[in-house]
Amino acid sequence: MRMSAHGSRNPLVSVLVPAYNAQRTIGLALLSMQRQSLGELEIVVVDDGSTDETATIVTAMAARDPRILLVSQRNTGIVGALNTGLQHCRARFVARMDADDYSLPWRLARQVALLEASPEVGVCGCAILPLHEPWLRPGLPQRMPTHVAGIRTRLLFNPPVMHPTVVFRRALVDVAEFYPAGHPHAEDYALWSRLAHRTTLTNDRRLGLLYRRTAQAVSNRHVRVQRETAARIRRTNLAHLLGEEFAAANAAPHEELIAREGTDTAGVTAYVERLAAAPGIDPAVVADHWFGYCLARARAGDRDAARRYAVPRGLANFVRRVALEAICRTVHA
């Protein structure tokens, strides 16, 4: 393992950036951190055995900015790179960003201010604007829940904070095994699920990160393994929040709701109504997933998707139903 020179001052935030063959994007990613309005930071880049010019680019930038630390190691994958990087993070807060993303200048200042104002909060994410390659076509902003019920409900479906957007308290490293093995390609989901029992998670709903979506993303390259791992985590979260009996009885429709495919549409419809009425559940989060399921079914040719959407009480939205009806008419025209 090799390290570059490093500034000696005491930073407020350590920015952890794992990088593997990121020569095309790493310079812009680091530039976005250099331009943060919060200047009390260090940037820890873990070069995870890159075979391109990633290390050369980071070394050149570190020579001009002592806040940048380059840690080079043999390739171990993202979990190994993150755990290595955490060992070099010295600040009270640790921020995450991927080597192909871009943080807006106010991102860290806003998230740190939220954490400092709320001692009970240990992890804070933010909203993203996805950019779809190859032309970096912008999608719609994606925002995550901010309150406890929304976070807990989101844990039943997928991570309640987006991994490249988080800022978390460095002290949490002492009480939790960060980025554990055994959860391939869903290590962040496992981490947030564990930490949700120990601290409060939240999100800044304001836009803070431009998130590049590529065909080489882990979620695209390892879909099957990621789905299997996430399903195990969801099953544990469902049992923890609503009880083992509920989880055992509803595991199949829950996964069908998330997969947005399958044949038991009546079973999924009944399950959605039970889930939305369960204690501790945020119906708004369930409503979003229910619309996503019905939208996928409509596009797949389900003539009754719009009608079925309105069945669970209190979850239907007029505009969304109109959109579903239009899709159903278009598909069957």
More confident residue, 330 or 59: 59
Of 179, 202, 218, which residue constitutes the final position of a domain? 218
Give the mean model confidence (pLDDT) for residues 265-287.
96
Least confident among 142-146, 216-220, 267-271, 297-301: 216-220
Q: Are residues 206 and 248 in the same domain?
A: no
Rounded CA separation 168/17 (Å): 14
pLDDT over threshold 90, residue 185: no
Of 182, 201, 218, which residue constitutes the final position of a domain? 218
Q: Are residues 34 and 160 in the same domain?
A: yes
pLDDT tens digits, one per residue of 63-75? 999 999 999 999 9
pLDDT tens digits, one per residue of 126-143? 999 999 887 788 888 999
What residues contact 248, with CB distance under 8 A and at least 6 apart? 239
Residue 237 lies in a domain: no
Nearest to 42 by CA among 84, 97, 90: 90
Rounded CA separation 259/170 (Å): 35
Q: Are residues 146 and 183 in the same domain?
A: yes
pLDDT over threshold 80, residue 236: yes
**Confidence grade of residue 8 (pLDDT, cut at 50, 70, 90):** very low
Residue 55 lies in a domain: yes
Beta-strand runs (E) in the chain: 2-3, 13-19, 41-48, 68-73, 93-96, 102-103, 121-132, 137-138, 167-169, 200-213
Alpha carbons within 13 angstroms on the beta-carbon side of residue 190 total: 20
Which residues form the domain of 270? 243-331
Q: Are residues 179 and 297 in the same domain?
A: no
Q: Are residues 270 and 134 in the same domain?
A: no
CB 285 within 8 A of CB 154: yes
- For the domain that residue 210 is a member of, what is the CATH number? 3.90.550.10
Name residue, tokens 């391109």: 52
pLDDT over threshold 70, residue 333: no
Q: Are residues 147 and 98 in the same domain?
A: yes
Q: Are residues 148 and 76 in the same domain?
A: yes
Q: Are residues 179 and 266 in the same domain?
A: no
At residue 2, the pLDDT reads 62
Residue 100 lies in a domain: yes
Give the mean model confidence (pLDDT) for residues 190-195.
91
Residue 322 lies in a domain: yes
Q: Are residues 136 and 51 in the same domain?
A: yes
Of 201, 218, 235, which residue constitutes the final position of a domain? 218
Average pLDDT, the chain: 91
Rounded CA separation 103/280 (Å): 33
More confident residue, 60 or 39: 60
Residue 39 lies in a domain: yes
Residue 109 lies in a domain: yes
**Confidence grade of residue 4 (pLDDT, cut at 50, 70, 90):** low
Q: pTM, whole model, 2 decimals? A: 0.89
Give the mean model confidence (pLDDT) for residues 248-265.
92
Per the omega criterion (within 30 degrees of 0), is the bond before 134 cis?
yes
Rounded CA separation 112/106 (Å): 10
Number of domains in the chain: 2
More confident residue, 134 or 208: 208
Residue 231 lies in a domain: no
Q: Are residues 175 and 264 in the same domain?
A: no
Q: Are residues 213 and 273 in the same domain?
A: no
At residue 216, the pLDDT reads 56
pLDDT over threshold 90, residue 288: yes
Residue 287 lies in a domain: yes
Q: Are residues 197 and 49 in the same domain?
A: yes
Burial class (CB in 10 A: 0-12, 13-18, 19+), 48: buried
Give the mean model confidence (pLDDT) for residues 165-173.
93
